[in-house]
Amino acid sequence: MPDSNTRLLEKKNRALQLLQEGRQQEARSLFQEVCKADGNDTGARYMLAVADAQLGDYGAAETGMRQVTKAMPEMADAHFMLGQVLQGQQKLDEAAKSYRKVLSIQPGKPEAHYSLGCVLQSQGDRNGALRCYRQTLQIKPDHVDALTNQGGALQALGKLDAAVASYQKALALRPDLDYLRGALGVALVQQGNQETGLDMLQQGLHINSSRISALQVPTPQDHRTIEPGNLAKAAQSLPDITIATTIAPKNIDNQREAINSWKRLGFNVVSINSAQEIEQLQSSFHDINFIIADRDAKARCGKPYIYFDDFLAYFRTTDSRICSIINSDIHLTDERLKTLVSTEAEDAFLFGCRLDVSSLATTQGTVFRDGFDYFFFDIKYLDVYPENEFCLGLPWWDYWAVLVPMLSQVPVKKLTAPVAHHITHPINWDEDNWKLLSLKIGEYIGMPEQPTIQMLGYCARYIVFLIDKYSEKIALA
C-alpha cells in the first residue's frame, strides 16, 4: 500500500496533468489538498498560484506567489509569475520590480525583458520600453510580440520608417496574424504610403466590397482653396439651412453658447429629444424649436439617444434644401461658414473635424482626426441611407454619416479649416454599444462576422483613412 508521500506525489502529478489539459478548477482543488497536507511543498504552492492566476483569481495568485518568492528568493520563475499577476492587476510599479528581480537572477530570460517593456510602455516610458524590446530581440530575434510592440513604441515616437520595418519583420514571421496587417497598415498610412497602407488594412480586415472598389480618388484639381471674394458673391442670396442636434440635459451653459454660435451665423436650429428631456430643457433653451422623438434608445442603451434615422425623417418634413447634423457642444467660429455651406453642400455632402481647445478664449488646439462633428448635405441624398441602429451620442454614427453617401457615389467634401471648436472633456464609450455598432458598420463594408476587438479598432482607423482618401478637400483662404 503506497505511503502518504507517494499518494501526495501522485496527487500532485495528477494536478499537473489537469493543469496542462486546461482543467484549472480541478487542478486547483488537488493542489490545495497537497498544500494542506504539506505546507512546506513550495512547488505545489507555486503551481497552486499558477492555477489561481489562470482562473483569474489574481488576489489568491499574488498571495501564493509572494509566499513562494519569500521561501525561494532566487526562483526566477516565481518572480516572473508574480510580475505577471501584478501586471494583470495593473500594479505596474510592483510588476516592474518583479521583472527586474527576474533579470538580476536570469538576465538572459527574453520574456522578462519583453514583459518589463510592456509595463514601461503602459506607463508611458516608450524609450525604456524600446530598450527592453531590443534586449528581447537580441536574445530571441523571432519574438513576434516584441517586434510588434517595438513597432508600436516607435510609431508613437514618430519613428515611422523603423516602425514599419519592425511590423514587416513580425508579419514575415507570422503571416497568419491579421492584427499585424492592421498595425502595419496604419503605420504605412501615417508614413505617407496611403495606398499600400489601406490595401494592407483591407487585407487584414478581409473586406470585400465592390462599392469600395468603385470609388474614385479625387484629382489634385478637386482639392480647392476658396477665396473670400467668391464667398462674398454667394452671400448675396443665402438659402435657409437647418441644423438638427440633440441637446443633453447637462453642461447647459456650454451647449447654449455653442448653439448661439450657430444662430449668430444665420442657421435655423432644432433639437430632437425625448419628451422627458424636452421638459427638462425648455426653460434653458426657450428660443429653440424642440421636436419630440417618436422613439429613443433608452431601453437598449440606458439613455434616450435619438436614432440617426429619425433625424433624416425630420428633414423630410422641412423646406430646407440643405440640412445639417451637429453635436450640441460644437462651437462654429467662422462667419463665412453659412455662405460656404450654401455653395459647397448643394448637390454634395460636406463635413469636417473639430478643433479640441482648452477654452473658447484660445484658437490653439488639436484637430480631432479620429471622428467627425459637423455635417451639411443636400436633402436629395436622404434616401441613400439604409435603415440602421446608429444614434447621436453613441460611437460610429459619424463614420456612418459620411461613409454611406461616399459609397453611394455622392460627392463628399471635407472642410479642412478649423471652423468648429470643442472644449475638451473626458469621453467614456460603452464597450458593448461600441462593439455592437462596429459590427453593423463592418457588415455594411463587407467585413466578416465576429472580428476581435483589436481588429474592430483597426476597422475604425481604416474607415477614417478611407474617408480621407476619397473626399475632396476644401480650404478657406
CA distance 415 to 84: 47
> Is 461 domain-assigned?
no
- Of 52, 78, 107, the one marking the end of a domain is 107
C-alpha dihedral over 126, 131, 133, 137, to 10 degrees?
160
pLDDT of residue 321: 92
Cell 520608417 -> residue: 161
Sheet holding 241-245, edge to edge: 224-226, 472-476, 412-415, 349-352, 374-378, 322-326, 241-245, 268-273, 289-292
Residue 167 lies in a domain: no
DSSP secondary structure of 331-384 = EE--TTHHHHHHHHSTTSEEEE--EEES-TT----EE-TTS--EEEEEGGGGGG
Cα dihedral sign for 203, 208, 211, 213?
Answer: positive
Do 244 and 99 sit in the same domain of this protein?
no
Domain contains 419 = yes
Nearest-angstrom CA–CA distance, 72 and 65: 10
Grouped pLDDT means (10 residues each) for the chain, 477 residues = 72 85 90 85 88 92 94 95 95 97 97 98 96 98 98 97 98 97 97 96 92 88 78 62 95 96 96 96 93 94 95 94 96 94 95 95 92 96 95 95 96 96 84 88 86 90 96 92
Q: Is residue 105 exposed (0-12), middle (13-18) or buried (19+ Cβ within 10 Å)?
A: middle
In a domain, 142, yes or no: no
Domain that holds residue 379: 227-431
Q: How far apart are CA 213 and CA 194, in angstroms?
A: 15
Q: For the chain, first and last CA: distance in Å?
A: 95
Distance separating alpha carbons of residues 183 and 167, to the nearest angstrom = 7
For residue 466, what is the DSSP state?
A: H
CB 133 within 8 A of CB 170: no
Determine the pLDDT at residue 383.
Answer: 95
Measured CA to CA, the distance from residue 168 to residue 126 in angstroms comes to 20
DSSP-derived letter for residue 288 is S
CATH code of the domain in which 413 resides: 3.90.550.10
Quote the DSSP letter at residue 386. P
pLDDT of residue 79: 96
Cα 471 to its chain centre, rounded Å, is 22
Residue 268, classed as helix, strand or coil, is strand
- Domain assignment present for residue 90? The answer is yes
Contact (CB, 8 A) for 373 and 326 = yes
Q: Is residue 451 part of a domain?
A: no
Cell of 71: 521561501
Is 207 domain-assigned? no
Which pLDDT score is estimated for 234? 53
Q: What is the CATH number of the domain that holds 1?
A: 1.25.40.10
> Is the CB of residue 369 less than 8 Å from the CB of residue 413?
no
CA 141 vs. chain centroid, Å, equals 30
pLDDT on residue 132? 98
Instruction: Say whether both 406 and 268 belong to one domain.
Output: yes
DSSP class per residue in 207-266: ---HHHHT--PPPGGGSEEE-HHHHHHHTTS---EEEEE---SSSHHHHHHHHHHHHHTT
Structural domains counted in the chain? 2
User: What pLDDT was estimated at residue 347?
Assistant: 95
Query: Within a domain: residue 386?
Result: yes
pLDDT, residue 283, reads 92
